Structure 1
Amino acid sequence: MSGITKLVLVDTDYRRRAAVSHDLAGSEIHVEPFDGAEDLIAHWPSNGVLLIHDDGVALNLVVAYMARTGNWLPCICYAEQPDPRQVAMAVLTGAIDYLPWPLGRDELRHALLDAGDRARLMSTGKLREAVARSRLERLTRREREVLEAVACGLSNRKIGETLAISPRTVEIHRANMLAKLGANHTAEAIRIAIEASLPGTTPALAA
């Protein structure tokens, strides 16, 4: 299975954990269960594919941890009757696949097989995006607005006119924004914004 031999299961419901473990019993896949995101983070594995029950919290906690530490593992989410918005949010956050519960054995095995190949293609980019998003969360609303405007190539004067603030205030927000992002210059801040997929920061605008 493309080297995928360990499934790291994250779910607060022991019945679902037991069902997944039972379905994969006797297969080449070893299931390592964790009782929620906090339990996983406290005992972070060195390898495997994460299978996370999407309760609206766990994936965010896990991705934030990976962004802070750089310990990337590919994530697959699952939930009962997920709606399209829920699936889209999970994928934007960092999931490489999304499955409906209950999980079929063949469907799960196919997803794990696919995860090995997709993870190798996506892990570097997804980790950069997660790190960038984590940095952007440090910004105030006004600092994000200044960053978006800077990425669009606007001068301090034009930014001030757009946001109805003085150029001096723009400079202050700009300096604070760079410091919070850990960026040494504006180009680096724009790169972080692009990696985080901040609205209005396409490579064309940032060029």
Structure 2
Amino acid sequence: MTNGTSLFLVDGDVRRRAAISHCLAGSMIHVEPFEDASELITRWPKNGLLLVHDDGRAIGALLNQMGRLGQWLPVIGFAQEPTTRQVVTAVLEGAIDYIAWPFSGEEISRVVNEAEAKAEVFGSAKLREALARSRVDRLTKREKEVLAGVAGGLSNRMIGEKLSISPRTVEIHRANMLTKMGANHTSEAIRIAIEAALVT
């Protein structure tokens, strides 16, 4: 673990925030508590890790913010008695790890240490994914469908048949899609879609 790791804690429960801060007192981890994602977003850190209470919204909001800023920080999700689905959803959204509360100082220190190691390996890939997701999120549902068709190698006519729209309408959606994504050509849009995990 690096000396004096900064851990930005996002949790709406004041008692739990205090308990986690106390749990890490005396460790090499400096905890900065925040009530919610919007409070953290106004004072976005340059580095460190985010420990985010998984309320079903906060993790996604912070990862979207990273895409807009073009700066990725490792996210560790946590919840009391999390379900498998909760953990999987958080990881698919972009969390690098997950821990169940209550946890001990030793447990969270180990997870933070592992998250830092993973961040070194996955950092640039996760940032590209966050950036790509923020660009894909600008698209309408129909534009995403057209993008998926284009990425699947379908012609405008075939995409039109699949979506029950005319090839000309597909062309319009395709042009709008490229503009919104800031892509100069279709192959760039496909690369962004792959990085955003919209297509595999």
CA distance in 2, matches of 1:134, 1:5: 28
CA distance in 2, matches of 1:158, 1:42: 46
| Equivalent position of 1:205 in the other structure | none
Is 1:180 aligned to residue 163 of structure 2? Answer: no
CA distance in 2, matches of 1:89, 1:51: 16
Query: 8 Å contact 2:135–2:181 — kept in the other structure?
Result: yes
Consecutive aligned runs of 4 or more in structure 1 exceeding 2 Å deviation: none
| Equivalent position of 1:49 in the other structure | 49
Is 1:150 aligned to residue 122 of structure 2? Answer: no
Give the drift of 1:20.
0.9
Cα distance change on mapping 1:35 and 1:50 into 2, 3 Å: same
Query: 8 Å contact 1:4–1:112 — kept in the other structure?
Result: no
Is 1:40 aligned to residue 40 of structure 2? Answer: yes
Give the drift of 1:178.
0.8
CA distance in 2, matches of 1:7, 1:30: 6
Query: 8 Å contact 1:10–1:40 — kept in the other structure?
Result: yes
Give the drift of 1:58.
1.2
Q: Secondary structure at the match of 2:103?
A: coil
1:46-195 correspondence runs (5 A)? 46-195=46-195
Query: TM-score, length-normalised on structure 1?
Result: 0.92
Residues 91-117 of structure 1 deviation map (CA, whole Å, 9 limit, x = unaligned): 111110000111222110100111111
CA distance in 2, matches of 1:134, 1:4: 31
CA distance in 2, matches of 1:114, 1:4: 15
Give the drift of 1:192.
0.6
Query: TM-score, length-normalised on structure 2?
Result: 0.95
Unaligned runs of 5+ in 2: none
Give the drift of 1:3.
4.6
Cα distance change on mapping 1:75 and 1:9 into 2, 3 Å: same
CA distance in 1, matches of 2:159, 2:112: 47
CA distance in 1, matches of 2:191, 2:3: 33
Give the drift of 1:164.
1.9
Give the drift of 1:175.
0.6
The residue type paired with residue 53 of structure 1 is H
User: How many residue pairs align between the two structures?
Assistant: 200
CA distance in 1, matches of 2:140, 2:47: 36
